[in-house]
Amino acid sequence: MTKYFQALPRLMKAFAKNPVTFVNSVNGVSSSCDARNFAKSLSNSVKGDSNSELSAENPLWSYFQNHKEGRGIWKWEHYFDVYHRHFARFIGEKVNVLEIGIYSGGSLEMWRSYFGDKCHVFGVDIENACKVYENSDISISIGDQSDRSFWTTFKNGTDGIDILIDDGGDGLEHQQITLEEMLPYIRPGGVYLCEDVHGRFNRFAAFAAGLVSELNDINFFRPGDSSVSEFQSIAHSIHFYPYVVVIEKHRVPPAALRAIRHGTEWQPFLGNHWVVPPELQINR
Protein backbone atom coordinates (compact mmCIF):
# COMPACT_ATOMS: atom_id res chain seq x y z
CA MET A 1 0.00 0.00 0.00
CA THR A 2 2.90 2.35 0.72
CA LYS A 3 3.99 2.46 -2.93
CA TYR A 4 0.51 3.65 -3.94
CA PHE A 5 0.63 6.55 -1.49
CA GLN A 6 4.11 7.41 -2.74
CA ALA A 7 2.65 7.89 -6.20
CA LEU A 8 0.15 10.53 -5.05
CA PRO A 9 2.54 13.54 -5.13
CA ARG A 10 3.53 12.63 -8.67
CA LEU A 11 -0.13 12.38 -9.69
CA MET A 12 -1.01 15.71 -8.09
CA LYS A 13 1.93 17.35 -9.83
CA ALA A 14 0.72 15.96 -13.16
CA PHE A 15 -2.81 17.26 -12.49
CA ALA A 16 -1.54 20.72 -11.62
CA LYS A 17 0.67 20.84 -14.72
CA ASN A 18 -1.98 19.79 -17.22
CA PRO A 19 -5.46 19.08 -15.76
CA VAL A 20 -7.13 18.39 -19.13
CA THR A 21 -4.59 15.74 -20.10
CA PHE A 22 -4.77 14.29 -16.58
CA VAL A 23 -8.56 13.91 -16.71
CA ASN A 24 -8.43 12.34 -20.16
CA SER A 25 -5.78 9.90 -18.94
CA VAL A 26 -7.91 8.94 -15.93
CA ASN A 27 -10.84 8.36 -18.27
CA GLY A 28 -8.66 5.85 -20.11
CA VAL A 29 -7.88 3.77 -17.01
CA SER A 30 -10.97 1.59 -17.42
CA SER A 31 -9.98 0.89 -21.03
CA SER A 32 -6.50 -0.13 -19.88
CA CYS A 33 -8.06 -2.53 -17.38
CA ASP A 34 -10.33 -3.93 -20.08
CA ALA A 35 -7.29 -4.43 -22.32
CA ARG A 36 -5.51 -6.32 -19.54
CA ASN A 37 -8.51 -8.60 -19.03
CA PHE A 38 -8.84 -9.18 -22.77
CA ALA A 39 -5.14 -10.06 -23.10
CA LYS A 40 -5.41 -12.56 -20.23
CA SER A 41 -8.42 -14.21 -21.87
CA LEU A 42 -6.70 -14.88 -25.18
CA SER A 43 -5.58 -18.38 -26.05
CA ASN A 44 -3.46 -19.42 -29.01
CA SER A 45 -3.41 -23.12 -29.86
CA VAL A 46 -0.62 -22.65 -32.41
CA LYS A 47 2.83 -22.71 -30.83
CA GLY A 48 5.67 -21.52 -33.02
CA ASP A 49 9.43 -21.55 -32.93
CA SER A 50 10.96 -18.57 -31.13
CA ASN A 51 12.94 -17.89 -34.32
CA SER A 52 10.06 -18.38 -36.74
CA GLU A 53 10.14 -14.79 -38.03
CA LEU A 54 13.91 -14.76 -38.52
CA SER A 55 15.66 -15.99 -41.62
CA ALA A 56 18.86 -15.90 -43.61
CA GLU A 57 17.31 -13.01 -45.56
CA ASN A 58 17.93 -10.83 -42.53
CA PRO A 59 21.65 -9.86 -42.63
CA LEU A 60 21.63 -8.78 -38.99
CA TRP A 61 20.31 -12.14 -37.84
CA SER A 62 22.88 -13.95 -39.96
CA TYR A 63 25.66 -11.77 -38.56
CA PHE A 64 24.53 -12.45 -35.00
CA GLN A 65 24.20 -16.19 -35.58
CA ASN A 66 27.70 -16.40 -37.03
CA HIS A 67 29.33 -14.18 -34.41
CA LYS A 68 30.80 -16.84 -32.12
CA GLU A 69 34.01 -15.09 -31.05
CA GLY A 70 35.25 -11.55 -30.53
CA ARG A 71 33.50 -8.57 -28.99
CA GLY A 72 30.26 -9.43 -27.24
CA ILE A 73 26.76 -8.78 -28.56
CA TRP A 74 23.85 -9.31 -26.16
CA LYS A 75 20.39 -8.88 -27.73
CA TRP A 76 16.94 -10.44 -27.45
CA GLU A 77 16.45 -12.66 -30.51
CA HIS A 78 13.18 -11.08 -31.60
CA TYR A 79 14.85 -7.66 -31.85
CA PHE A 80 16.50 -8.67 -35.12
CA ASP A 81 13.21 -8.81 -37.01
CA VAL A 82 12.34 -5.34 -35.65
CA TYR A 83 15.73 -3.95 -36.64
CA HIS A 84 15.55 -5.21 -40.20
CA ARG A 85 11.96 -4.07 -40.64
CA HIS A 86 12.80 -0.47 -39.80
CA PHE A 87 16.45 -0.21 -40.85
CA ALA A 88 16.64 -2.12 -44.17
CA ARG A 89 15.99 0.95 -46.32
CA PHE A 90 19.19 2.54 -45.01
CA ILE A 91 21.50 -0.28 -46.19
CA GLY A 92 24.20 1.08 -48.47
CA GLU A 93 23.21 4.69 -47.78
CA LYS A 94 25.26 7.43 -46.13
CA VAL A 95 23.88 7.08 -42.64
CA ASN A 96 24.81 8.15 -39.11
CA VAL A 97 23.84 5.56 -36.49
CA LEU A 98 23.86 6.24 -32.76
CA GLU A 99 23.78 3.40 -30.24
CA ILE A 100 23.46 4.21 -26.55
CA GLY A 101 24.87 1.46 -24.35
CA ILE A 102 28.07 -0.03 -25.74
CA TYR A 103 28.99 -2.68 -23.15
CA SER A 104 31.44 -5.00 -24.95
CA GLY A 105 31.38 -3.26 -28.33
CA GLY A 106 30.19 -6.06 -30.60
CA SER A 107 27.00 -4.38 -31.78
CA LEU A 108 28.95 -1.32 -32.97
CA GLU A 109 30.75 -3.57 -35.45
CA MET A 110 27.45 -5.27 -36.35
CA TRP A 111 25.80 -1.97 -37.35
CA ARG A 112 28.81 -1.01 -39.44
CA SER A 113 28.72 -4.37 -41.24
CA TYR A 114 24.95 -4.17 -41.82
CA PHE A 115 24.70 -0.63 -43.18
CA GLY A 116 27.94 -0.66 -45.18
CA ASP A 117 30.99 1.48 -45.77
CA LYS A 118 29.05 4.76 -45.95
CA CYS A 119 27.85 4.29 -42.38
CA HIS A 120 29.37 6.08 -39.40
CA VAL A 121 28.54 4.68 -35.97
CA PHE A 122 28.36 6.82 -32.84
CA GLY A 123 28.46 5.04 -29.50
CA VAL A 124 27.49 6.49 -26.11
CA ASP A 125 28.21 4.91 -22.76
CA ILE A 126 28.75 6.02 -19.19
CA GLU A 127 31.81 3.77 -18.80
CA ASN A 128 35.17 5.27 -19.77
CA ALA A 129 36.47 1.82 -20.71
CA CYS A 130 34.28 1.90 -23.84
CA LYS A 131 36.59 4.47 -25.43
CA VAL A 132 38.72 1.52 -26.56
CA TYR A 133 36.18 0.77 -29.34
CA GLU A 134 36.75 4.08 -31.15
CA ASN A 135 38.28 4.10 -34.63
CA SER A 136 37.91 5.97 -37.92
CA ASP A 137 34.42 4.55 -38.50
CA ILE A 138 33.18 4.56 -34.90
CA SER A 139 33.07 7.60 -32.62
CA ILE A 140 32.66 7.10 -28.86
CA SER A 141 31.25 9.65 -26.40
CA ILE A 142 31.33 9.06 -22.65
CA GLY A 143 28.45 10.54 -20.70
CA ASP A 144 25.20 10.07 -18.83
CA GLN A 145 22.18 9.83 -21.12
CA SER A 146 19.95 11.28 -18.39
CA ASP A 147 22.04 14.49 -18.44
CA ARG A 148 20.53 17.03 -20.84
CA SER A 149 23.78 19.02 -20.96
CA PHE A 150 25.57 15.91 -22.23
CA TRP A 151 23.17 15.72 -25.16
CA THR A 152 23.67 19.40 -25.90
CA THR A 153 27.41 18.80 -26.15
CA PHE A 154 26.88 15.68 -28.25
CA LYS A 155 24.62 17.45 -30.74
CA ASN A 156 27.05 20.34 -31.07
CA GLY A 157 29.75 17.84 -32.07
CA THR A 158 27.84 15.90 -34.73
CA ASP A 159 26.15 16.79 -38.01
CA GLY A 160 22.96 14.79 -37.55
CA ILE A 161 21.71 11.30 -36.69
CA ASP A 162 19.59 9.08 -38.93
CA ILE A 163 19.06 6.12 -36.59
CA LEU A 164 19.10 6.11 -32.78
CA ILE A 165 19.16 2.83 -30.85
CA ASP A 166 18.71 3.26 -27.10
CA ASP A 167 20.16 0.20 -25.36
CA GLY A 168 21.42 2.17 -22.37
CA GLY A 169 19.84 2.71 -18.96
CA ASP A 170 16.43 1.10 -18.64
CA GLY A 171 14.93 3.65 -16.24
CA LEU A 172 12.27 6.20 -17.16
CA GLU A 173 14.60 9.15 -16.69
CA HIS A 174 17.27 7.72 -19.01
CA GLN A 175 14.86 6.76 -21.77
CA GLN A 176 12.51 9.75 -21.59
CA ILE A 177 15.24 12.39 -21.49
CA THR A 178 17.02 10.71 -24.40
CA LEU A 179 13.84 10.70 -26.48
CA GLU A 180 12.99 14.31 -25.61
CA GLU A 181 16.49 15.55 -26.40
CA MET A 182 17.22 13.47 -29.48
CA LEU A 183 13.95 12.90 -31.38
CA PRO A 184 13.93 16.49 -32.72
CA TYR A 185 17.59 16.08 -33.67
CA ILE A 186 17.09 12.91 -35.74
CA ARG A 187 17.02 13.79 -39.42
CA PRO A 188 13.76 13.71 -41.45
CA GLY A 189 12.97 10.12 -42.41
CA GLY A 190 15.05 8.83 -39.51
CA VAL A 191 14.23 6.20 -36.90
CA TYR A 192 14.27 6.22 -33.10
CA LEU A 193 14.29 2.79 -31.42
CA CYS A 194 14.28 2.14 -27.67
CA GLU A 195 15.06 -1.35 -26.38
CA ASP A 196 14.34 -3.12 -23.10
CA VAL A 197 11.02 -1.46 -22.28
CA HIS A 198 10.16 -4.19 -19.81
CA GLY A 199 7.07 -4.81 -17.69
CA ARG A 200 3.31 -4.33 -18.12
CA PHE A 201 3.24 -1.05 -16.22
CA ASN A 202 6.50 0.35 -17.51
CA ARG A 203 6.42 4.14 -17.11
CA PHE A 204 8.36 4.80 -20.29
CA ALA A 205 5.85 2.66 -22.19
CA ALA A 206 3.14 4.86 -20.67
CA PHE A 207 5.05 7.94 -21.87
CA ALA A 208 5.28 6.48 -25.38
CA ALA A 209 1.57 5.57 -25.29
CA GLY A 210 0.92 9.22 -24.47
CA LEU A 211 2.69 10.10 -27.70
CA VAL A 212 0.32 7.74 -29.51
CA SER A 213 -2.53 9.89 -28.18
CA GLU A 214 -0.80 12.95 -29.62
CA LEU A 215 -0.39 11.16 -32.95
CA ASN A 216 -4.17 10.52 -32.95
CA ASP A 217 -5.07 14.15 -32.20
CA ILE A 218 -7.90 15.35 -34.46
CA ASN A 219 -10.10 18.39 -34.85
CA PHE A 220 -13.59 16.85 -34.77
CA PHE A 221 -15.12 20.20 -35.59
CA ARG A 222 -13.62 20.12 -39.12
CA PRO A 223 -14.96 16.82 -40.56
CA GLY A 224 -12.60 15.26 -43.06
CA ASP A 225 -9.89 17.93 -42.73
CA SER A 226 -7.72 18.21 -39.66
CA SER A 227 -4.81 20.58 -39.17
CA VAL A 228 -1.52 18.92 -38.28
CA SER A 229 -0.04 19.35 -34.81
CA GLU A 230 3.67 19.91 -34.33
CA PHE A 231 4.08 16.30 -33.21
CA GLN A 232 2.09 14.94 -36.16
CA SER A 233 4.30 16.95 -38.52
CA ILE A 234 7.37 15.20 -37.06
CA ALA A 235 6.23 11.65 -36.27
CA HIS A 236 5.18 9.44 -39.17
CA SER A 237 4.35 6.43 -36.98
CA ILE A 238 4.86 4.79 -33.59
CA HIS A 239 5.38 1.03 -33.26
CA PHE A 240 5.23 -1.18 -30.18
CA TYR A 241 6.86 -4.61 -30.03
CA PRO A 242 7.71 -6.79 -27.02
CA TYR A 243 10.20 -4.63 -25.07
CA VAL A 244 10.68 -2.21 -27.99
CA VAL A 245 9.27 1.20 -28.98
CA VAL A 246 9.99 2.61 -32.47
CA ILE A 247 9.21 6.09 -33.79
CA GLU A 248 9.69 6.82 -37.48
CA LYS A 249 9.94 10.43 -38.61
CA HIS A 250 8.37 11.94 -41.71
CA ARG A 251 10.66 12.55 -44.64
CA VAL A 252 8.35 15.40 -45.69
CA PRO A 253 5.93 16.84 -43.08
CA PRO A 254 2.26 16.58 -44.11
CA ALA A 255 0.37 19.85 -44.52
CA ALA A 256 -2.89 18.36 -43.19
CA LEU A 257 -4.65 15.07 -42.51
CA ARG A 258 -7.61 14.73 -44.86
CA ALA A 259 -10.36 12.21 -45.52
CA ILE A 260 -11.18 12.61 -49.23
CA ARG A 261 -14.48 11.52 -50.72
CA HIS A 262 -14.52 9.73 -54.07
CA GLY A 263 -17.72 8.70 -55.82
CA THR A 264 -21.12 10.24 -56.60
CA GLU A 265 -23.63 8.17 -54.63
CA TRP A 266 -23.91 8.80 -50.89
CA GLN A 267 -26.28 7.81 -48.11
CA PRO A 268 -27.89 10.87 -46.45
CA PHE A 269 -27.26 9.91 -42.83
CA LEU A 270 -23.60 10.86 -42.29
CA GLY A 271 -24.51 14.13 -40.63
CA ASN A 272 -26.51 12.26 -37.98
CA HIS A 273 -23.47 10.20 -36.99
CA TRP A 274 -20.66 12.76 -37.16
CA VAL A 275 -20.53 13.85 -33.53
CA VAL A 276 -17.69 14.52 -31.15
CA PRO A 277 -17.27 11.50 -28.82
CA PRO A 278 -18.09 12.55 -25.23
CA GLU A 279 -14.68 11.47 -23.93
CA LEU A 280 -13.00 13.85 -26.42
CA GLN A 281 -15.13 16.91 -25.85
CA ILE A 282 -12.66 18.25 -23.25
CA ASN A 283 -9.65 17.19 -25.27
CA ARG A 284 -8.71 20.68 -26.42
Largest alpha-carbon pair distance within the chain?
70
Per-residue pLDDT band at 268 (split at 50, 70, 90): confident
pLDDT of residue 9: 74
pLDDT of residue 51: 64
Model confidence over 184-240: pLDDT tens digits?
Answer: 999 999 999 999 999 999 999 999 999 999 999 887 666 566 789 999 999 999 999
**pTM metric for this prediction:** 0.87
Q: How many residues does the chain have?
A: 284
Model confidence over 40-59: pLDDT tens digits?
Answer: 888 777 766 666 566 668 99
R_g of the chain computed on alpha carbons: 22
Examine the pLDDT at 281 and tell me if it is beyond 70: no
Q: List domains and CATH numbers for the chain.
A: 53-257 (3.40.50.150)
